[in-house]
Amino acid sequence: MPHIPFGVDMDLLSGALHNPAHHLVRKASDMRGYYADANALDALIRTGNDPLHYEVFEAPIPRESGDLMVCISALQPGRVGEECFMTKGHYHTIARTAEVYLCLRGEGLMLMKTAGGDCAVETMARGRMVYVPPGWAHRSVNTGPEPLVCFCVYPADAGHNYGDIEVQGFPKRVIRKNGDIQLLETAL
């Protein structure tokens, strides 16, 4: 891909980018193993017609050192059992790479953890930026009734490493119970 300046149009409400180079779609069936209540996820897949979980639209940028990847994502509202819809979460393959998330719509939480056992949680809301430092795995969680739409920028060669997350998850799970958002400690 040639390195020439370009611009792209984005729909900041739905969280879409026109003519993306990549369009990642994750449905409920792609999330097996990630939620505490596997039966509730199975029921959602069967009776809810395997609903959309989240989408990520990436701009046409080479995954090369020196470039910055730009993407916009929309995480749908909903729950699996009591647990709020969330992304899989990942480390960056090149651990020294950070990421900036600018929230454009909705409400949520960003769960972050390091391989050394540190954990952090930041709120996400329209107009709020969350900085994910190098070495921190990150997962977004939609705690509200609308799609959680975010604009992200990170080094284009960072890569995604799902590492221990499918098995171990994060030190906290986010549930909505009786209308309240609660953070549950998990036994890691």
Q: Which stretch binds Zn ion (CB under 5 A): 52-60, 99-107, 117-125, 142-150?
A: 99-107
If one asks whether residue 83 binds Zn ion (CB under 5 A), the answer comes out as no
Using CB under 6 A, pick the residue from 34, 151, 154, 170 that binds ligand F6R: 154
If one asks whether residue 112 binds ligand F6R (CB under 6 A), the answer comes out as no
DSSP string, 106-119: SEEEEEEEETTS-E
**Spatial contact of 72 and 151, defined as CB atoms under 8 Å apart:** yes
Q: Which stretch binds ligand F6R (CB under 6 A): 83-91, 102-110, 116-124, 170-178?
A: 83-91
If one asks whether residue 99 binds Zn ion (CB under 5 A), the answer comes out as yes
Count of residues that interact with ligand F6R, criterion CB under 6 A: 13
Least Cβ distance, residue 144 to ligand F6R (angstroms) = 16
Nearer to ligand F6R by Cβ, of 105 and 138: the residue is 138
DSSP string, 8-43: --EETTTTEESS-SEEEEEEGGGGTTTSS-HHHHHH
Among Zn ion, ligand F6R, none, residue 84 binds (CB under 5-8 Å by kind): none
If one asks whether residue 71 binds ligand F6R (CB under 6 A), the answer comes out as yes
Q: Which stretch binds Zn ion (CB under 5 A): 12-20, 67-75, 97-105, 163-171?
A: 97-105
Place of tokens 């995604």: 160
If one asks whether residue 73 binds ligand F6R (CB under 6 A), the answer comes out as yes
Give 95's DSSP letter: T
If one asks whether residue 55 binds ligand F6R (CB under 6 A), the answer comes out as no
Instruction: State the Cα–Cα distance between residues 132 and 113, nearest whole angstrom.
Output: 10
Least Cβ distance, residue 94 to Zn ion (angstroms) = 11
**Spatial contact of 152 and 100, defined as CB atoms under 8 Å apart:** yes
Strands 107-114 and 160-161 come out as: unpaired
Instruction: State the Cα–Cα distance between residues 19 and 21, nearest whole angstrom.
Output: 7
Instruction: State the Cα–Cα distance between residues 73 and 148, nearest whole angstrom.
Output: 8
Nearer to ligand F6R by Cβ, of 27 and 90: the residue is 90
